[in-house]
Amino acid sequence: MTKRSDQVTDALKQLITEHKLKPGDRLPQEKELTEQFAAAKGTIREALKALETQGLIITRTGPGGGAFVADVPPDRAMSLLANYFYFKDITIHDIYQLRVNLEPELAASVVGRLSEDDFRRLQTTMTIYDAPPTNQSEEHAQRLAELSFHEVLVDLCPNPILSFTCHFLLGLLKNLRLCHDIYDLPNPALWETGRHYQMQLLGALKRESEPEVRRIMREHMVRAEALMQAQETIVLDQFLASPRARKGG
């Protein structure tokens, strides 16, 4: 038997779609809902909480307050999706199999859409890894900055699905345990090639040459995957070896 609160959740969702409610529109108050659904406050609140965690509504207290339909924030959508992958173990190849094919599209989709300000943003992020890193934490920071170059493209991409997917993949690279371990290893080649390709990419974007943008980004991704995978094997070997090593003293 489905729970009463879940029934209310579904009913409220239907109410939103049927009445074509838009972000900002208000739902009935808790008191009204208790009457409409003949359910107690607690039950109604659980139903609203479900919608709130989905990002579909936000609630405000005080006069004129209540539950308001909301645009799901990208961050929330990303963390909800990240939950799905939490118990699967993701490999570098899993991530780059998508990046190799999608990042070129992403870059191509912004050709001719960059303002002077956008170019400055790209150039600014590149200055962070202008010089080779001197210590480990600096190297770690540079890796994250390198990713933010791609986040600028994500912001400008007109395709919401492509943009979100690439953004999510960047989130995995930023947050996954495996990736943190990889970033902790020194990797001058990764710094060198990342810098190299992004310089080339910036030029191609300025020339507004879509084929070149596509080609450069693809090469960039293929190269990055190879370098990351090399480190992945090291990290995984360490992981396999360490329990033994500890036991052995």
| Binding region for its own copies (CB under 8 A) | 5, 22-23, 42, 45-46, 49-50, 52-56, 71-72, 74, 77, 80-81, 83-88, 90, 93-95, 97-98, 101-102, 105, 109, 159-162, 164-165, 169, 172
By CB under 7 A, is residue 112 in contact with DNA? no
Binding of residue 93 to DNA (CB under 7 A): no
What are the two backbone dihedrals, phi and then psi, of residue 51, each rounded to the nearest 5 degrees?
Answer: -65, -35
DSSP string of 24-37?
Answer: TPBPPPHHHHHHHH
- Could you give the 3-state DSSP secondary structure of residue 229? helix
CB under 8 A, 24+ apart: contacts of 55-60: 55/80, 56/13, 56/16, 57/27
Residues 61, 115, 134, 135: which binds DNA (CB under 7 A)? 61
Q: Which does 102 bind (CB under 5 to 8 A by kind): DNA, its own copies, none?
A: its own copies
Q: Please tell me whether residue 66 adopts helix, strand or coil conformation.
A: strand
Only segment of 35-43, 92-100, 111-119, 181-189 that touches DNA (CB under 7 A): 35-43
Q: Contact between 9 and DNA (CB under 7 A)?
A: no
Q: Is 101 in the site for DNA (CB under 7 A)?
A: no
Of the pair 71, 155, the CB lying nearest its own copies is at: 71
- The one of DNA, its own copies, none whose footprint includes residue 29, by CB under 5 to 8 A per kind, is DNA
Alpha helices in the chain (DSSP H): 4-18, 30-37, 41-53, 74-85, 92-109, 116-128, 136-156, 160-175, 177-184, 188-207, 210-248
Question: Rule CB under 7 A: which residues touch DNA?
Answer: 1, 3-5, 29-31, 34, 38-43, 45-46, 48, 59-67
